Amino acid sequence: MNFDQFEKIKNISLKRTVHINSLSEKNDRTLLYGCTLMGDTFHVDVQNGLLHKVIYSSNDEARVYDSGDHLSLDGIIPCKRLYPKYCDFEFCLILTKAGIDLSFTSWTERPASTTLYERIVKTVKNLLNDIHNAIGEDFYERINRT
């Protein structure tokens, strides 16, 4: 292969994504929930028409955050295990058809958690506040004047 062919192959592999439009229902909900080998909590959800991927440390701080109308399939599940009761069937089917290995733990009947969605909302709000504080008020004022 020549250099141009090599670049083409690299770019194809970089475009492995899952898009919000892959879902028939785009309502706010948890898509994947599990834990990593480090004991962190892993969460992918739909919120306000966007996909969100968050990895929380043991003290509930977001260590990794990614959001958009699509997410890369490479490393989408850095998990030790997924809890099937809290995962979305349609999303898991999409990932399985894309060749992503889903490492589920055994099925356990548990009461549905109402804190998952609240947790992601809190994290997103905190991230937006951090960005706002880093940029400063004058940035928003300059944008509004243009």
Least Cα distance to 77 among 59, 55, 97, 46 occurs for 55
Segment 108-129 shows an average pLDDT of: 64
pLDDT digits (tens, 9 = 90+) for 49-91: 999 998 888 777 777 788 999 998 887 887 788 999 889 999 9
Question: Among 28-42, 68-82, 110-124, 128-142, which range has the highest average pLDDT?
Answer: 28-42
Domain assignment present for 36: yes
The predicted structure's pLDDT at residue 132: 65
Domain total for the chain? 1
Least Cα distance to 121 among 129, 133, 111, 131 occurs for 129
Give the list of residues 6+ apart from residue 99 with CB closer than 8 angstroms, or none: none
CB 31 within 8 A of CB 54: no
Range of the domain at 136: 18-145
Domain assignment present for 84: yes
pLDDT digits (tens, 9 = 90+) for 8-44: 877 765 558 899 999 999 999 999 999 888 888 889 9
Domain assignment present for 141: yes
Domain assignment present for 4: no
User: What is the widest separation between alpha-carbon atoms in the chain?
Assistant: 56
Domain assignment present for 30: yes
Domain assignment present for 48: yes
The predicted structure's pLDDT at residue 142: 55
137 pLDDT tier (thresholds 50, 70, 90) = low
110 pLDDT tier (thresholds 50, 70, 90) = low
Domain assignment present for 5: no
Containing 96, the helix (H) or strand (E) segment is helix 89-97
Report d(CA 32, CA 139) in Å as an integer. Answer: 36
In 28-105, which ranges are continuous DSSP H helix? Answer: 89-97
Higher pLDDT, 130 or 6: 6
Instruction: Name residue 60's amino acid.
Output: D
Domain assignment present for 80: yes
State both tokens at 82. Answer: 């997924």
DSSP state of 69: S
The predicted structure's pLDDT at residue 91: 95
Segment 95-114 shows an average pLDDT of: 78
